[in-house]
A and B are shown apart, each in its own frame.
Chain A
Amino acid sequence: MSTISTLSSRFNIPSHPVDEVGIKERVARLATRSIKKFSKVEGLKLALSMVDLTTLEGADTPGRVRQLCTKAIHLHSGRSDLPMVAAVCVYPTMVRVAREALKGTPIKVAAVATAFPSGMNPLAVKLEDTRYAVGEGAHEIDMVISRGDFLRGDYARVADEIAEVKKACGKAHLKVILETGELGTLDRVRLASDIAMEAGADFIKTSTGKIQPAATPEVVLVMLQAISDFFRKTGKKIGMKPAGGIANAKAALNLLVMVREVLGPAWLNPDLFRIGASKLPNDILMQLEKERTGVYQGGDYFSND
C-alpha cells in the first residue's frame, strides 16, 4: 500500500469553499427552466440513454437480474424510438449473469465493489472485490470511499485507496461513490469530489442509494462545479453520476439542465453523464407516452421489472 507521505506530492487539493445558500439559490434558479414540447421529448429520451438501471438487493437472483436486463434492452413494448439504457448496475456475483443477458447489446455492466455499501473492509479485501468483479466481466466499477477515514480527516488514505482501486480496475472505468448523505456539508462534498478526481476517478457518483439524503440537486451542483474546475485545471473530462432517489421525469430533466448549464453540452452523453436509478425509466416512459398520446398515463400500462 502506498504511504500517506506520498500524498502531498501526488495530490494537490486546493480549498474550494462552497456557500450553501448560494448553491440553493442556483439550484432553485436552474429548476425554473421550463422544458416543454420537443425539448421535453428529446430530453427524456436522452435521460433514458443515460440510466444505469440498478438492482442492489441482498435478495437479487439471476432471474431477477435477467429480467432487469430485458427491461434495459426493451424499455417499453411497442415503441421502437426509445434508446437502450447505458448500463446495468449489479453486485459482483451478478456480473456474469448480466453480461450473458446483455450479450450483443452496447449496454455496459457496472458492478459495485469495495465492500459496497459501507466500505468497512480492509483495502486488500476491497481490491480483491474489485479484481473479482472485473474478472467476471464488469465494464465499470462503482466503488465507495471510506467515509470514516474521510470524516476523521485522513484524506490521504481515502485518496490512496481510490488510486489503488483504480489500478485494480485495469481497463474498467472507475466510478467513485462519495456517499454524500454521510459527509455532512457541501464543503466536504466538494473536497471529496476533488480528492476522487485527483486520485483517478473516471466518474464521481453521489450515493449508494442506501443512505438518505442521496442525490440532492445541491450535491449534484457542487460535484458538477468540481468537475468543471478539474477540467479547467487538467483538461480531463470526468463523468458524473447522481444516484439515489431520482424517481421522476422532472428530476431527470432538471439534472440535464444542470449538466448543460454548468458543464456544457459536451457532457450530455452517456460517456460522461449517468443516472443511477431503478424506478426512473417507467416514470419517463409514462411522460413520453403522455406526450405521444396526449393523455396522462397509469402505472398498470408499464412493466415493473
Chain B
Amino acid sequence: MSRNGTSGKNGRLDVRKTYKMLVGGAFVRSESGRALDVEAPGGGWLGHVCRASRKDFRNAVVAARKAASGWATATSYLKGQILYRAAEMLEGRASGFREVLQSIGLSPVAAKTEVSQAIDLLVYYAGWADKYLQVFGAVNPVATPHFNFSVTEPMGVVAYVAGEKRPLLDLVSGIAPIVVGGNTVITLSTGRAAVAAMELGEVLETSDFPPGVINLLCGLREELVGQMSSHMDVNALVVQGGDEKEHTASREACALNLKRYFPRDPGGKGDEDPYRILDTVEIKTTWHPVGG
C-alpha cells in the first residue's frame, strides 16, 4: 500500500486511510487535534498518525477502568475465545498487514514472518487463558482446619509502551499476556510502528473484545511515559525499551501509587513466556474453615 502516491493504477486516485486511535471501543483522533508526520522508510512522507495528549491518555484510562471489572470477571473460556478470534481476524487480513509492514520498512520476508508470528502468539496466549491459573495458582496445606487457596486476579488497568523494532509483534506480545490475565490495557506506539498499531486496532475491534479492554494510543514516548507512570488509576506499567533515565524517572513516578513497573528488553526472547502473565496479576489467597 502506498501512501504517497497521488494516483494508483488506471489513473484512479487512492482513497487514503486516516489512522485513528482506539479508545473505549471507538476510533478517535487526538482530542488535542495534533498529528504526527510519519516518515517513509526511504525518506519522504508516509502519512499522519495522531499525537495523543495526556488528556487522551486520561480518557483511555477512564475507558479501561470502566471495562476492567467486566473483563476481569469474563470467563477464562471467553477470554480464550476472543483472543483466538483476534488471531482469526489477523489471519484474514494477513496480506494487508504484510503490506503495511513493508510500507513502514520491513522486508517482504520479515513482514511475512512478523505477521505469522503475531497470529501464532495470539493463538498461544488464547490457549493459556484457562490454564495459567491451574499452573500458577495453588491450594496451600495450612496447619489449621482451613481450606486455603491462592488464585491469580487481574491487577486492573495496565499501561504498555511498545517498542518500535517489531512494529506488530512488540505490540501483540505486550498486549496478549496483559489481557489474558484479565487486565484492560492502554498501549502507546511510537514512530512508524504507530501505523501498524492503528491498523491492529481495526482487527481487535472486530474480535469481540468488549469496548475499553484494549485501548491503542500513538504519540511521543517522551511526552506520554511520564503520564503513564504517574497516573493514580493505573495499576501497572510495562515498557519495552527506554533508556536508564526514563526507567529511573518511571520507577520514581510509579512510587506515587506503588504502580508495578516492568521494563522489558526489546526483541522476541520472552514472547512466549507465560510468566509474563504473572507480572500483571495479583495473587489472592483465601481462607475458609473446614467444619460441620
Binding site for B on A (CB under 8 A): 19-22, 24, 184-187
Q: Is B5 an interface residue (CB 8 A)?
A: no
In the bound complex, residues from chain B placing their C-beta under 8 Å from that of A20 are 289, 291-292
Q: On chain B, which size bracket covers the interface? A: under 10
Chain A residue nearest to B145 in the complex (CB): A21
Q: Is B146 an interface residue (CB 8 A)?
A: yes
In the bound complex, residues from chain A placing their C-beta under 8 Å from that of B289 are 19-22
Chain A residue nearest to B291 in the complex (CB): A20
**What CA separation (Å) do A52 and B292 show in the bound complex?**
31
- B270-292, CB under 8 A of A: which get 1 and which 0? 00000000000000000001111
In the bound complex, residues from chain B placing their C-beta under 8 Å from that of A186 are 292
**What CA separation (Å) do A22 and B287 show in the bound complex?**
13
Q: Can you offer 16 A-B residue contacts whose CB atoms are under 8 A?
A: A19-B289, A19-B291, A20-B289, A20-B291, A20-B292, A21-B145, A21-B146, A21-B289, A21-B290, A21-B291, A22-B289, A24-B291, A184-B292, A185-B292, A186-B292, A187-B292
**What CA separation (Å) do A185 and B292 show in the bound complex?**
6
CB distance from A248 to the nearest CB of B (A): 26
The 4 nearest A-B residue pairs measured at CB: A20-B291, A21-B289, A21-B291, A185-B292
**What CA separation (Å) do A193 and B129 show in the bound complex?**
51
CB distance from B284 to the nearest CB of A (A): 21
CB distance from A26 to the nearest CB of B (A): 12
- Interface of chain A, helix or strand or loop or mixed? helix
CB distance from B144 to the nearest CB of A (A): 8
**What CA separation (Å) do A121 and B289 show in the bound complex?**
40
**What CA separation (Å) do A24 and B290 show in the bound complex?**
11
In the bound complex, residues from chain A placing their C-beta under 8 Å from that of B290 are 21
Interface residues of B in 244-292 (CB under 8 A from A): 289-292
Chain B residue nearest to A20 in the complex (CB): B291
CB distance from A153 to the nearest CB of B (A): 18
Chain B residue nearest to A185 in the complex (CB): B292
CB distance from B286 to the nearest CB of A (A): 15
Chain A residue nearest to B288 in the complex (CB): A21
In the bound complex, residues from chain B placing their C-beta under 8 Å from that of A187 are 292
In the bound complex, residues from chain A placing their C-beta under 8 Å from that of B145 are 21, 24
CB distance from A19 to the nearest CB of B (A): 6
In the bound complex, residues from chain B placing their C-beta under 8 Å from that of A184 are 292
**What CA separation (Å) do A6 and B242 show in the bound complex?**
80
Chain A residue nearest to B146 in the complex (CB): A21
Chain A residue nearest to B290 in the complex (CB): A21
Given contacts A21-B290, A185-B292, 14 further A-B contacts (CB under 8 A): A19-B289, A19-B291, A20-B289, A20-B291, A20-B292, A21-B145, A21-B289, A21-B291, A22-B289, A22-B291, A24-B145, A24-B291, A186-B292, A187-B292
In the bound complex, residues from chain B placing their C-beta under 8 Å from that of A24 are 145, 291
CB distance from A186 to the nearest CB of B (A): 7
CB distance from A121 to the nearest CB of B (A): 31
Chain A residue nearest to B289 in the complex (CB): A21
In the bound complex, residues from chain A placing their C-beta under 8 Å from that of B291 are 19-22, 24
Interface residues of B in 198-217 (CB under 8 A from A): none
**What CA separation (Å) do A187 and B290 show in the bound complex?**
15
In the bound complex, residues from chain A placing their C-beta under 8 Å from that of B292 are 20, 184-187
- B127-147, CB under 8 A of A: which get 1 and which 0? 000000000000000000110
Interface residues of B in 141-169 (CB under 8 A from A): 145-146
CB distance from B240 to the nearest CB of A (A): 49
Chain B residue nearest to A187 in the complex (CB): B292
In the bound complex, residues from chain B placing their C-beta under 8 Å from that of A185 are 292
**What CA separation (Å) do A2 and B289 show in the bound complex?**
42
**What CA separation (Å) do A132 and B292 show in the bound complex?**
40
**What CA separation (Å) do A184 and B146 show in the bound complex?**
21
CB distance from A175 to the nearest CB of B (A): 26
CB distance from B143 to the nearest CB of A (A): 13
CB distance from A123 to the nearest CB of B (A): 31
**What CA separation (Å) do A24 and B145 show in the bound complex?**
10
